[in-house]
Each structure stands twice: as C-alpha cells, then as structure tokens.
Amino acid sequence: MEQILANGIYLGSQYAMIALGLTLIFALMNVLNFAHGQMYVLGGFVTYTFYGQLGFPFVVALFLACATLFVLGALIEKFLFGPVIRRSSREESTMLLAAGLAFFFDAVILLVFGEKQRGVPKIVDGVFNWDFRLIMPYDRILICVLAIFSIVGFILFMQYSKTGRALRALAQDRTAAQLMGVNVDRYSMIGFALGAMLAGLVGGLLVTITGVNLGMGGPTSIKAFMMVMIGGAGVISGAIAGGIILGFLEAIGLAVLSQYGDITYLLIFVSLMIFLAFRPQGLMGKPWG
Amino acid sequence: MKRRVIIKSAAAAVALSVFTSAGAMAENQTLKIGFVGVTSGPAAAWGISNQRSMEARAAWINETGGYTIGDTTYDIEIVSFDDQKDPKRAIAGMEKMAQEGIHYVVGPNVDDGAAAVRPVAEANGIMYFPYAFPKELYTAPASNAVLGMVANYQSGPAIYKHLMENEGVKTVAFIAANESDPLSQRDGGVAAAKELGLEVVSDNVTYQVDTTDFTPVLTPVMRTQPDLLVLSGVSPANAPQLIRSARELGFQGLISTETAQDAQVLREGAGDLANGFISVGGASTPELASDAMREFVERYTDMFGEYNDESNTKVYALEYILETLKADPAAIEDVSVFQATMDSFEAPNPYMVGDAKLRYVGMSSFGQKRQVAVPLVVNVYQDGEFKTLFVAEVD
C-alpha cells in the first residue's frame, strides 16, 4: 500500500505538471495544442544537450529548457496561432495547425537529435528503501518535490501576480478583459509561452528519470488530454486534479491488476468514457465552457 | 590573336564534349533496392538503423565505382518508405515498391507489418527481408520472405542454456510490452524456458509501449525474485529504463533480451546499472569485426553523425541481396531465379574475421532456406561497450 501511495503521488505530480500547460493554453485561446507532447520532448532534449552533453549544471540546463520553450511558445503564438485565430473563426483551423506543428517538431527532433533514446546522468544517487515496503530512488523523490513546488509556484503566480491576474481575466472573458484594458494580444502570447514553458520544464525534469526520445510526444499529448478531460478543460485546478487522479489510477491499476495483464489503461479508458457520458465537462469544468 | 582564341575555344569545346560523352558512356545503371519499415514514432530506432545501414553501404559501393552483377555495373539506390509501424502503411509501401519495379525489399520491422505485405510481395514478384519472427512467413507455401536476423526462438534457448550451465540460473521471469511482437516473443521464450527445465515465476506482467516509468510495472515482478529477468522483445528506448528500475528496486539477478541494443543508449539511460545486461548483437565486437566492418562503422558514423549498434545485424540484408544477385544475374528481374539460387548460395562474409560465410539457412526452423545466416553473437554490456559472451550458429 505504501508503495502504491508513493507511486501515485510521484506519477500524479508529474502528470499534473504536464496537464497544466495544456489547459492554460486551452483556457486562454481555446486551442487544443496537439503539439504539447512534442514541446515536452523538446524540453527534454534541450536539457539533455546542455546537462548531458555539454556538462552544464542541471539547474542551468533546466532554466535553458524553460527559456527555449518560452521563446518558442511566444513565437508560435505570435506568428502562427495568433494570425490564424484572427483570420478564421473555425476551431478546426487551430486544431489542424497544432497537429501540423506536432508533425513538424517530430521531424525537427529526428533531424537534430536523432532516433535514439537519450538519457542523462542521475542528479542524485541512491535509493530510499523502507524495509522493502517502500522503495523509491532519491532522484524520483527530488523530481516529485520539485514538481510539487513548481505547481504551487505556478498557482501563486496565477493568483497574485499582475500577469497571472490578467491571464485569468482573459480566460474568464476575453472581451470583458479587453474592455478593462488588458492587452489581449500581449497576454495571449505570454500565456501560450508559459504553457510551452511548463511543457519544457516537466520535460527537463523528467529526462533525468525517463530519458527522452522522439516518439514520446504523441503519447504524452494523449495522456495530457485525458487529464484535462477528467479535470475539466481550461480549469487550472481541474488539470491538477486530473493529473493526480490519473497518476493514482495508474499506480493502483499496475499494482493490483498486473496479474491480469496490461488492462490498467483499458479500464481507465472505459471509466473515462462512462464518466464523460455523465459529466462531459469534467470534474471542475462548466457545462457552458 | 582573335583567330588563336577561336581555335583554343573550339579545341576546348571538342575536348569537353569528348570527356562528357565518355563520362556518359561510363555512367552506371541504377539498381533500386527498397526499404519498408518504421522510421518514425517510438520504434523509429529499429527502422532508421536499417535504412541508414543500407544507405551507408550503398554510398560506399557507389563511391568505389558501383556493384558489378554479370556484365553490368550498377549504382545502388535505396528507395525508402516509412510504414509508421502500421500494417496498412506497410502494404502501401510494398505497393509503391511494386510500382517502381523493385524486386528486392528490406523490412518490415514488425510481425503484423511483415504478415500484411505478404500477398502484395508474392503477387508482384518481390523478395522481402523482414525483421519479424512468425514462422508462417518463412514456411511453405510462403515463398518470398527471408528472415533478416536470428529469431528469438533460436537465440532465447541458446542464452537460457548458457546461463543455466554457467551462472546456475534456475528461475526466470518475463516482462513484455503489450504489443504483438514482444508478446509473441515472450510466449516463445516461456515455452523454451520450460522445455529447458527452468521454473517460470512470472510471465503475465506487461506494459504499455509508451510507458516512461517502469517502477510500478516492475514491482510485482521483483517480488518473485527470479534468477533471470527476460525483457522480451524490448525496444532500445525501453531497455535502459527497465534495467534501471529493476536495479533500483534491488534486483540482483541477471537481465537479458533477445533483441539487438545500442551501447550508447544503455550507457546514457542506465549507466553502470546496465553492466551485465545480455543481448543479441552482430559482428562488431572487437574480437569478431573484420576491417570491412570497421570501415562500415566509420562510414556510417561519418554519414549520420553517430553509429547505432543495432546496425551490426542490419548491415547484412543488402549484402545478401547483392551477393545472391551476383551469383545469378538473371535474378535481377526474376525472383524465382533468386529463390533457386538461395539453396546453393555461399559467399565469404566480409564483416567477420575468419572464414565465416554468407549463406541461407532455416531448414530446421522453416523447412526451407528462408533465413540469412548471420552469426548468433550474444553480447554482454560492460562499462559502456559490448563484449562477446558467446557465438553460436543458427540451423
């Protein structure tokens, strides 16, 4: 039981971080960012390059991953999503753009970083072992703590900073925010950049545990969408709840159902379908959007 | 002065036209060889190492004047198609090869893709070299598929037997991704282990192919405390994570797989925790590699920036195709000639030291010669590189 709880907290914290960026972008711009997983992978590869290849300290590499994705996100919003949203009121235009971006990033990652799985040296050695009832490597504990701190930091930023308040106003009512003097274009760009940065941050953190390869983007996006669907699209607290719920479901399923084969995700998908049939807006979403 | 310039210009033009026409006459014909396999997504490493091995070898051949088959010298052109590990795409890829008049194709990389393309290949006179293990692909009435590597049901028993005799292994646990290839390899491994008298303590734990954290997956397997943990059909992307998680969970036993791996990927992903990991490799360990193998590795590295150890097994398919065509040039347009030639074909293996031969095998596994005779080289990873554990022959 202790192991299941620990695995659930660890998985939940990293999943919540992945979902946060996705839901932020959706809340601000109504964009389903199918390239979110690829942004996560890019963050991992930037950290791999600076920490694993060039020998920079991990913290510096992580900062560079965040900065790279922030700038990339800002550019993508300014030159791609922004113009498309202005010119087309059809939601599928941004969806197609996001899907195209995902393919583009996959191709770029293959060209620049190659096809191999990449990994970096452990940031902390050793394993916490409580009488074989609870086994957890110290680097996982550290990453889990860092992820929780990042989530708390993000919530505080959204709650108390001027930018955070502007972003929340934008998410609640774009027109009203504009009438109140919020520079919608500027904060849309900042919001998208922040969402991309969060993907880069979690990619950079997790490269120390899971490594990174070019095929991780698609599956990461799918999991992120699942978490957002559970919690409620466009709701920050919903994304966190969705991530934690998915993490615990996975940890419990893998421990309890392993003898029946790989049916954990089958059951999770079935449960999600039933859940969405009764509550399509998710746990914390509003039926009217 | 003017007249002299005109005469010089005319002479230069004549010389140029002579050289150009001579060059045109010397230009080689092109022989297209196809590749249909996965070069994108999580399993991209499998197909890309195939494709790049073929491209590196083709560039080498073309740079050194081409490949002579009968009276004609050919430049080799590799025509590639990414099937995205999707059987429908694999069929489309094989149809594309047929439309381009290609009769020899390397790939697909996985079981369902290899099975899906069989009707297209047989209907269009295409010999193909899959990296997939189902026996029905190579057993009559199937005729056009040639297994491009050593199958797990051939390497697995050899590895288990070696470990039983030399390491005292008595119990074994299997873990596989929830996909057709790894699951069929797991089932084959379990059957082989039981036949050898090993006690199978766990064989039903599987994982999603996109799993990134294996600690929760491995926890129930570790409780069975096996002497040997077999990572059935594990992809190079997952192997280091599985090894790392198993060791961090306190596993002290041996870990092995029957798929090819890459030393750099293991070093980066698992570091010293990968020491002792047993996998199937090719012929590039220092004690086995010939000068040609070393040059191939060098050229591959120059061309693509870094070498992939999986190419140690994947360097062979193109060589087999070309050498067999050389043995009977009529096979270029007629695969039935190729099939007839396979029965008696033999040529020196350029990539291994000693008197190793290229030849087709498979009589004991498939009842007909539908497998390339690559050496069964079992490697053990130690401190960033593979060392040869033992070498055996298939068939």
Read off the pLDDT of residues A102-141 as tens digits, 9 standing for 90 and up: 999 988 998 898 888 898 988 888 888 887 778 888 988 9
Among B341, B344, B327, smallest CA distance to B127 is for B341
CB contact under 8 A, A255 and B40: no
Surface of A (242-281) touching B: CB under 8 A: 250-251, 254-255, 258-262, 265
| Residues B19 and B117 occupy one common structural domain | yes
Interface contact flag, B269 A140, Cβ < 8 Å: no
Q: Which domain holds residue B207?
A: 152-259
CA angle (B127, B132, B138) in 5-degree steps: 50
pLDDT reported for residue A218 = 87
Quick one: pLDDT at residue B344? 94
Which residue from A minimizes the CA distance to B221?
A258
Say if A213 is an interface residue toward chain B (CB within 8 Å). yes
Q: Which residues of B touch A132 (CB under 8 A)?
A: 250
**Distance spanning both ends of chain A, measured CA to CA:** 38
What total of structural domains would you count in chain B?
Answer: 2
Length of chain B as a residue count: 395
- B300 vs chain A: nearest CA distance in angstroms? 14
Single-letter amino acid, residue B288: L
B200 shares a domain with B182: yes
Closest CB from A3, A129, A262 relative to B250: A129
Measured distance CA(B169)–CA(B254) in Å, rounded: 9
**Which tokens in the block code for residue A162?**
């001027």
Same domain for B122 and B44? yes
Whether residues B59 and B140 fall in one domain: yes
The SS3 call for residue B106 is: strand
- Partners of B249 on chain A (C-beta within 8 Å) are 135
Put simply, whether A159 touches B (Cβ < 8 Å) is no
Assigned domain for B333 exists: yes
B330 plus B356 within the same structural domain: yes
* Whole-number Cα distances in Å, B107 to A5, B128, B284, B315: 44, 6, 22, 13
Q: What's the gap in Å between the CA of B47 and the closest CA on chain A?
A: 9
Tell me the per-residue pLDDT of A86-104, one tens digit each, with 9 for 90 and over: 888 888 899 999 999 999 9
Beta strands in A27-179 (DSSP E): 127-130, 134-137
Asked whether the beta carbons of residue A117 and residue B305 sit closer than 8 angstroms, the reply is no
B134 and B175 assigned to the same domain: no
Ranges of H-type helices in chain B: 2-26, 44-63, 87-99, 111-116, 118-123, 152-167, 180-196, 215-222, 239-248, 263-270, 291-304, 311-314, 316-327, 335-342, 363-366
> What's the confidence (pLDDT) of residue A214?
85
ipTM: 0.77
Alpha carbon distance B18, B45 (integer Å): 47
Chain B hits for A213, Cβ within 8 Å:
42, 44-45, 237
Contacts of A267 (CB under 8 A, 6+ apart): A253, A257
- Band of residue A29 on the pLDDT scale cut at 50, 70, 90: confident
Distances from the Cα of B178 to the Cα of A30, B175, B245, B271, B391, angstroms: 35, 9, 18, 26, 30
Burial B294-319 (b: 16+ CB within 10 A, else e): eebbebbeeebeebbbbbbbbbbbbb
pLDDT for position B210 = 78
Q: Is A3 on the interface with B (CB under 8 A)?
A: yes
A52/B268 Cβ within 8 A: yes
Hey, are the CB atoms on A215 and B210 less than 8 Å from each other?
yes
**Both B16 and B134 in a single domain?**
yes
Q: Give the domain ranges of chain A.
A: 2-215
Examine the domain organization and report whether B219 and B81 are in the same domain. no
pLDDT at A66: 96
How many residue pairs from chains A and B have C-beta atoms closer than 8 A? 119
Co-location of B366 and B303 in the same domain: yes
State whether A209 and B213 contact (CB < 8 Å).
yes
Question: What is the token pair recorded at B258?
Answer: 């029957």
Give a yes or no: residue B382 inside a domain.
no
Phi, psi of A50, deg, nearest 5: -80, -40
Q: In Å, how far are B175, B210, B247 from B203, measured between CA atoms?
A: 6, 20, 19
**Option in A106, A110, A117 nearest B269 (CB):** A117
Best residue of B86, B248, B300, B306 to probe chain A, by most A CBs closer than 10 Å = B248
The answer to whether residues B38 and B47 touch, using CB atoms and an 8 Å cutoff, is: yes
Confidence of residue A156 (pLDDT cuts 50, 70, 90): very high
B104 neighbors B45 (Cβ within 8 angstroms): no
CATH number, domain containing residue B301:
3.40.50.2300
Q: Six-digit token pair at A5? A: 């709880």
Establish if A106 touches chain B: CB-CB under 8 angstroms: yes
Asked whether the beta carbons of residue A116 and residue B248 sit closer than 8 angstroms, the reply is no
Q: Quote the CA–CA distance of B233 and B380 in Å, as a whole number.
A: 17
C-alpha dihedral over B273, B275, B277, B282, to 10 degrees?
A: 130
B160 and B129 in one domain?
A: no
CB B192 within 8 A of CB B153: yes
Q: Say how far apart CA A72 and CA A66 lie, in whole Å.
A: 10
Q: Which candidate in B215, B264, B272 is best for mutational testing of the A interface (most A CBs within 10 A)?
A: B215
Domain match, B10 and B116 both: yes
Q: Which of A127, A211, A254 sits opposite B216 (nearest CB)?
A: A254
Give the β-pairing of B228-232 and B371-372: unpaired
Per-residue pLDDT tens over the stretch A234-265:
888 888 999 999 988 888 887 788 777 678 88
Instruction: Classify residue B389: in a domain, yes or no.
Output: no
Mean pLDDT of A72-85: 93
Q: What is the pLDDT of residue B23?
A: 46
Q: Specify if B66 maps to a domain.
A: yes
The whole-number mean pLDDT for each consecutive block of 10 residues of chain B, a chain of 395 residues, reads: 55 52 64 94 82 96 96 96 93 96 94 94 96 92 93 89 94 91 90 94 87 82 92 89 90 92 89 93 75 94 88 90 96 95 94 89 92 88 90 76
